Structure 1
Amino acid sequence: MPRARTRPNPSGVHLLTARRPIDQLVSAATLAPDDLVIDFGAGPGVITAALAATGARVLAVERDARFARRLSRRFDGHNVRVVHDDLRRVPLPRRPFSVVASIPFAVSTTLLRRLLGDRRVPLRGADLVVEWGFARRVTTEWPGRAETARWAARYDLVLRRRIPAASFTPPPSVDAAHLSIRPRFNLSNLG
């Protein structure tokens, strides 16, 4: 049977819209009220809203000006601060923070380098939606790259589950994964 053709998506934006994977991401993060959590690539705020409901302080980072304006209006007066910036450049917090986000597949390596490559970054943990193949590569028992091995020495990188392409609007050409990242040591030992 021929495979159904999908319409081209020139923007490259694939929004996670399925409720179950969003709930699983937020639940896995085990956020407490007043914890700081970042939603990189917040888009229309579907994950942002679920994070805000936990009582955590949410930083919604969005590069697209239209989405950023909508987020600001939607979450005005809530425990959400919207930052119109690129996740590759936005300054990271100096206090411990978590990340829960469905990030653009094309910037997965760049974001992990920012979060995991500098010992001074006080990352409490991350629950990310990334491309399936990328998640498999960074969670393999025998990393093929020195950089990935350094990350694995300092963090537990665990592929939690597959997220079908149909969970996104529009669907990407490949499935995604829930990648969980937790430090192997206590943040109080940073320095």
Structure 2
Amino acid sequence: MSERQTLSYLQQRFASSRIQPQTRFGQNFLIDLNLVNLIASTAELGPRDVVLEVGTGMGSLTTIMAAEAGHVVTVEIDHYLAPLAREEFETLDNVTLLEQDALKSKNKLHPQVIETLREKVAQIPGGRIKLVANLPYNVATPIISNLLDMDPWPVRMVTTIQRELAERIVARPRTKDYSALTVWIQAQCQAEIVRIMPPSVFWPPPKVESAILDIRPQKVMRKRIVDPAHFHSLVRGIFIHRRKFLRSALFSAVKDVLTKPEVDQVLAQMELDANTRAEQLTPQQLLDLTDLVRLMAAEKASTPTVEDR
């Protein structure tokens, strides 16, 4: 490992293979060896862990993790780069390299990735999933977001992502970075920024700063979410109109199932002023709000109309 992720080593390997880093794949290779080790150590890997790594790169982080984890499932979209990575860990029998996109679409993980993770977890007593990766910026949001909607649920996510995205995920209410993604993650996880990193620690250097983010899903918090799909969808709908007052934003999101008077009733039960904005509510308040909408819509749907009687 001491030589495998240095700038000179990477440049030599790329030059000899006549390939270049691909910006369309978000390829920025972490060349600070201490930071590569920090990502792995933060994840606290053990023999029960099946690690998902998206963006294999040259396999340096993969190799470190394979020494600690039960299995590493690493995904590389670049078919020119994947063979170079495979050479780095070809003697390891607990690494599976998938040469493909990790996403089936923008909003779904690829079924092959999910199937492989489940297969490896089933082979390890007490097996569990962790995401540990230097994530390409262009897939970071859907990867993190969709893993929280997966079964089995990940127990840890330690990733290198764009600093701006990391700050959105850990943002507090009433700040400009607070968003639907913030709420979706904080409603079921604890998250913190471990380290801010300048562009100079990557090759080629990105145009923005990066951050190592540690996300720790909490089962107790997740159990409070009765219908995760409804919660996720409605919060996104409300935040599309984040600058609108809550009454207007909520009605825009639920107008197919609730009337304006019914939206007013929801806000009254929540003791929320109609002039409140979504960004002022905590994740718990938004969870309570979406639950109330869900229950009211279900009750309305089950009540016979005049024509049905």
TM-score of the superposition, structure 1-length normalised?
0.85
1:56 and 2:56 matched? no
Deviations 1:97-118 (A, max 9, x none): 10110011121111122112x1
Check whether the contact 1:17–1:46 (CA below 8 A) recurs between aligned residues. Answer: no
Q: Is 1:153 the counterpart of 2:187 in the alignment?
A: yes
> What is the one-letter code of the residue matched to 1:133?
E
3-state SS of paired residue (1:21): helix
| 1:115 counterpart letter in structure 2 | L
Q: Which residue of 1 aligns with 2:157?
A: 126
Name the structure 2 match of 1:102: 134
Q: Cα offset for 1:184? A: 1.5
Give 1:67 deviation, angstroms: 1.9
Counterpart mapping for 1:1-191 below 5 A? 10-11=23-24, 12-78=26-92, 79-89=94-104, 90=110, 91-92=113-114, 93-94=117-118, 95=121, 96-116=128-148, 118=149, 120-142=151-173, 144-185=178-219
The match for 2:242 is none
One-letter code aligned to 1:148: T
1:6 is matched with none
Equivalent position SS for 2:80: helix
Does the C-alpha gap of structure 1 residues 119 and 33 become closer, same or farther in structure 2, counting only changes over 3 Å? closer
Preserved contact between residue 127 and residue 181 of structure 1 (Cα < 8 Å): yes
Call closer, same or farther: CA 1:173–1:122 in 2, change over 3 Å: same
Q: Which has the higher strand share?
A: 1
Distance in 2 separating the partners of 1:30 and 1:154: 20
Whose RCO is larger (CA < 8 A, sep 6+)? 1
TM-score, normalisation: structure 2: 0.54
Cα deviation code 1:14-47 (max 9, x no counterpart): 1112111111111111111242111110111111
Secondary structure at 1:129 match in 2: strand
Kindly provide the amino acid, as one letter, of the partner of residue 74 in structure 1: E
Q: CA-to-partner distance for each residue in 1:121-151, whole Å, 9 max, x for gaps?
A: 4201110000011101111122632342122
User: Given the superposition, is the C-alpha separation of residues 42 and 10 from structure 1 closer, same or farther in structure 2, using an over 3 Å criterion?
Assistant: closer
Distance 1:158 1:69, change over 3 A: same
The alignment covers a number of residue pairs equal to 183
Structure 1: 5+ residue runs without aligned partners?
1-8
Matched AA of 1:108: A
The AA in structure 2 aligned to 1:167 is: V
1:33 partner SS: coil
Structure 1 stretches of at least 4 aligned residues deviating more than 6 Å after TM superposition: none
Query: Which of the two has higher C-alpha Rg?
Result: 2
Q: Distance in 2 between matches of 1:164 and 1:77?
A: 34
- SS of 1:65's equivalent in the other structure is coil
Identity of aligned residues (%): 27
Q: Distance in 2 between matches of 1:21 and 1:147?
A: 26
Counterpart AA for 2:146? R
